Amino acid sequence: MSMILFFAAAASDAEPMMEVTGQAASVAIEILILTLLVATAVSMIRMRQLFGVAMLSGIYSLLSAAFFVALDAVDVAFTEAAVGAGVSTVLVLSGIALTAKREMPVDRRRQLLPLLIVFVTGGALVYSTIDMPAFGDPQAPANAYVGAEYIAQTPQDVEVPNIVTAVLASYRGFDTLGETVVVFTAGLACLLLLGTTLRGGGKGGRD
């Protein structure tokens, strides 16, 4: 459960018993989703047919988006669903169109260095979580300064049930507008590069 849900649960006047069973149930569902994620990842690694891997990566994105929603990180889940399941599946398919249909098995010795890098990176990430403040710690920087203000003021100021949405769309609205402009420009540039001009207005006519 994320911090926001923690506060929402603390603030809501629902019966405590209901809250506990609801939380246990969503933890059970989260564990099931994570199991499916692991199964998807392992079969993506083992599969040699690249189209199947692209489809499985779409499934992986959908699953992780569902998991992010279960963790109450709705904005992250949106990005994951749009970029992961939508755009990147299509990009991977376009890549497959340019290369072979099947993946060649890789030499064992060439797998060692990437494995080492993955382990070192993962170890560094796990090590960095040790320094993080405990979950729900009121002294944590995320809860101490402006965060407390947002949590207190959002119901009156914005009247949006999700505080993250309120922060992104209202308190930091200009910031989000700038980000959207940047992403829109990047998308336009990609479209121009990838070729709406291949047809009609192009020089050769055919691509």
Partner 1 sequence: MYLTAGIAIIVAMALMLARAIVGPTVYDRVLAVNSFGTKTVLLLGVLGFLTGRPAFLDIALLYALINFIATIAILKFFRYGRLTGVMSDENPAREELR
Stretch that binds partner 1, among 69-77, 131-139, 144-152, 174-182 (CB under 8 A): 69-77
**Residue 149: Cβ-neighbour burial (10 angstroms; 0-12, 13-18, 19+):** exposed
Closer residue to partner 1, CB minimum distance, 39 or 132: 39
Question: Which of 122, 123, 141, 161 is the binder for partner 1 (CB under 8 A)?
Answer: 161
> Judged by CB under 8 A, does residue 79 bind partner 1?
no
Could you say which of 6, 7, 41, 55 contacts partner 1 (CB under 8 A)? Answer: 55
Q: Does 183 bind partner 1 (CB under 8 A)?
A: no
Residue in this structure with the two tokens 């072979």, named with its chain if needed: 100
User: Distance of alpha carbon 34 from its chain centroid, rounded?
Assistant: 14
The answer to whether residue 43 forms part of the interface with partner 1 (CB under 8 A) is: yes
Return the bridge partners of 61, or none.
Answer: none
Long-range contacts of 2-8 (CB under 8 A, 24+ apart): 2/71, 2/72, 2/73, 3/135, 3/136, 3/142, 3/143, 4/72, 4/162, 4/163, 4/164, 5/72, 6/135, 6/136, 7/151, 7/163, 8/161
Least separation, in Å, of the C-beta of 126 and partner 1?
Answer: 27
Options 3, 56, 164, 166; binder of partner 1; rule CB under 8 A:
56
Torsion of CA 171, 175, 180, 185, to 10 degrees: 170
CA 202 to chain centre: 37
Q: Which of 3, 73, 85, 166 binds partner 1 (CB under 8 A)?
A: 85
Rounded CA-CA distance 25/62 in Å is: 20
Tell me, by CB under 8 A, how many residues bind partner 1. Answer: 52
Q: Which residues bind partner 1 (CB under 8 A)?
A: 5, 8, 12, 14, 18, 22-23, 25-26, 28-29, 32-33, 36, 39-40, 43, 47, 51-52, 55-56, 58-59, 62-63, 65-66, 69-70, 74, 77-78, 81-82, 85-86, 89-90, 93-94, 97, 161-162, 194-196, 198-200, 206-207
